[in-house]
Amino acid sequence: MKKRVLFLCTSNSCRSQMAEGVTNHFFGDKLEAFSAGTQASYVNPLAIEVLKEIGIDISGHRSKNLSEFDGQKFDYVITLCGDANEACPLYIGGTKKIHIGFDDPAKATGNSEEIHQEFRRVRDEIKEKLTAFWCKEKIININ
């Protein structure tokens, strides 16, 4: 049976969307990932673009508010930004609440290429940190 994981960020536009996409793509045989925000907004087109570069399509995703998941059970709730970590409600019933922080690529400044590079850096960091986390939790084995 797959473990269920909910990724939380403030607006569910970049980091949580990328974490959901990465998890379902690379670890979907063991995990079922979802994402939400404390304040839903929109899926950032650059998050869609940089995931597409590594073969992950999140173009059908939409930004969701945390309330859409009321009453659902998750094995893990992972906050990806400080605001969501502090606003995250208490989950009971075996849910592990974890915080794995990432910079917000939507706050990147500079020219178009510099902003794209920041989205790619955060995407790669999400993949690396989540892979390490799922290995540590013995959900996946990369040996």
Query: Going by C-beta distance under 8 Å and a sequence separation of 6 or more, which residues neighbour residue 17?
Result: 35, 43, 44, 47, 58, 61, 63
14 is catalytic: no
Residues in the chain: 143
Is 81 tagged catalytic? yes
Catalytic residue among 81, 100, 106, 122: 81
List, in sequence order, every beta strand (DSSP E) within the chain.
3-9, 31-37, 76-79, 96-99
**DSSP assigned state of 65:** B
The answer to whether 61 and 20 are in contact (CB under 8 A) is yes
Which member of 40, 54, 87, 88 is catalytic?
A: 88
Catalytically annotated residues: 9, 81, 88
